[in-house]
């Protein structure tokens, strides 16, 4: 299991640390919260969980794109 820090995940997703915070805390409408492991004040992310989250977000965007075409 590979654990990533906040900076690594923000870089992987190509978002700012502030945007990552908003995603983790469920403050981005239309995006499910990103799973996080909290160890004290640290936030760690399993690489597999981040990849699964990306697939879920991609599937949602594809479904909404299909609905808008109808």
pLDDT tens across 33-56, in order? 999 999 999 999 999 999 999 999
Q: 27 is in which domain, residue-wise?
A: 3-69
User: How is residue 57 annotated by DSSP?
Assistant: H
Residue 20: pLDDT band with limits 50, 70, 90: very high
**How many domains, in total, are found in the chain?**
1
pLDDT (0 to 100) of residue 66:
57
Residue 3: pLDDT band with limits 50, 70, 90: very high
User: How is residue 40 annotated by DSSP?
Assistant: T
Q: How many CA atoms lie within 13 A of 42 on its CB side?
A: 6
């Amino acid at each position: 299991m590979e654990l990533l820090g906040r900076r690594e995940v923000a870089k992987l997703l190509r978002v700012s640390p502030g945007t990552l915070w908003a995603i983790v805390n469920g403050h981005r409408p239309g995006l499910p919260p990103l799973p996080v492991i909290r160890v004290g004040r640290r936030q760690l992310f399993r690489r597999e969980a981040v990849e699964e989250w990306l697939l879920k977000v991609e599937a949602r965007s594809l479904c909404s794109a299909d609905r808008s075409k109808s």
